[in-house]
């Protein structure tokens, strides 16, 4: 990635948003967003007033995509589908993020390309990407109207023999004494419903491959629902591990040995397997070709990994 300074010198004062519109060929709303996100620097200081004149040494922080060769598996004039590897952010979290899938989207499709939904960094699988602002609006509205059917594969702890549903509400945890990013099962939370079907049980690893069908789109929904029924996803660094270990992971202080012992695998074993939706009169159905089932070989044997339920 990504963010470089484009430098200018202005002898005469010009309103900030007009300068940005002229130099970058953007709309007034886009110019105001550049100012609002701290990407306009005037004489060494972040400029926050888009309607005020600027003069002197000007720098604009610009996103310049740096591709590494990840290609979409399908493309139309309005959208593309990527099969995201685990370990890659969809969007940069800060201007210091060295690389994200946004680099590939913008490199291939241009500056208006954007991801339509979320995948956590360690989650792999299918991601829908818009190619222009109009298709972004339509596709996001489609998601909001629940016009997209998604399914996931996950390797989970323990044996599951029968299909089951989890219908419990989820709420973001605002208790700063615990992990801030955790979602909680809470009666005041938003409705969340997931259907699960077992695919395969592996007795050597005491792990079940499950197919998950989320009917709502809450953050961490599948992860929390599986943890709630005491079958957390193997490799999950937040749900199913002690709080202090989750904090060490988030602070990037967890050793490889701790990761394998407490989480049971070096990555979250969750994969976005299918996407199905209708767009502009055409029904699309995508299925990932990645051999997720084979990842059971990276699972640590049960006698060598942490058991979150060993003490009741």
| Cα dihedral value 138, 142, 145, 151, nearest 10 | -160
Three-state SS for 7?
A: strand
Is 120 tagged catalytic?
yes
Q: Are 63 and 94 in contact (CB under 8 A)?
A: no
CA 117 to chain centre: 7
DSSP single-letter state for residue 190? B
Q: Which two tokens stand for residue 138?
A: 């339509």
- In this structure, what are the phi and psi dihedrals at residue 228, rounded to the nearest 5 degrees? -60, -35
For Cα atoms 142, 272, 124, give the angle at the middle one, nearest 5 degrees. 125
Q: 120, 145, 167, 206: which is the annotated catalytic residue?
A: 120
148-158 in b/e form (b: 16+ CB < 10 A) is bebbbbbbbbb
What SS3 state is found at 115?
Answer: strand
Euclidean distance between the first and the last CA atom of the chain, given in angstroms as a whole number: 46
- Residue numbers annotated as active site: 120
């Amino acid at each position: 990635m990504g963010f470089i300074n484009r430098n200018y010198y202005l002898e005469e004062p010009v309103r900030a948003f007009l300068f940005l519109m002229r130099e970058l060929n953007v709309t007034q709303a886009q110019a105001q967003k550049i100012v609002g996100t701290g990407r306009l620097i005037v004489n060494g200081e972040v400029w926050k007033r888009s309607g005020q004149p600027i003069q002197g040494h000007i720098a604009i922080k610009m996103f310049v995509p740096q591709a590494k060769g990840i290609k979409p598996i399908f493309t139309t004039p309005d959208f593309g589908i990527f099969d995201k590897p685990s370990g890659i952010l969809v969007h940069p979290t800060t201007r210091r993020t060295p690389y994200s899938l946004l680099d590939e989207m913008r490199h291939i499709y241009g500056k208006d390309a954007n991801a339509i939904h979320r995948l956590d960094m360690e989650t792999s699988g299918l991601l829908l990407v818009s190619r222009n602002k109009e298709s972004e609006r339509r596709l996001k509205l489609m998601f909001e109207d629940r016009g997209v059917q998604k399914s996931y594969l996950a390797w989970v702890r323990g044996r599951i023999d029968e299909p089951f549903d989890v219908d419990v509400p989820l709420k973001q945890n605002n208790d700063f004494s615990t992990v801030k990013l955790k979602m909680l099962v809470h009666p005041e939370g938003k409705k969340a419903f997931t259907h699960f079907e077992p695919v395969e049980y592996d007795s050597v690893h005491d792990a079940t491959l499950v197919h998950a069908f989320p009917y709502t789109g809450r953050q961490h929904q599948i992860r929390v629902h599986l943890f709630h029924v005491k079958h957390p996803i193997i490799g999950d660094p937040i749900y199913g591990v002690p709080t202090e270990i989750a904090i060490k992971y988030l602070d990037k202080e967890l050793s490889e040995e701790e990761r394998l012992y407490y989480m049971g695998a070096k990555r979250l074993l969750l994969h976005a397997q299918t996407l199905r939706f209708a767009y502009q009169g055409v029904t699309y159905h995508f299925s990932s070709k990645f051999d997720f089932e084979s990842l059971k070989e990276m699972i640590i044997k049960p006698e060598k990994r942490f058991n979150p339920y060993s003490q009741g």
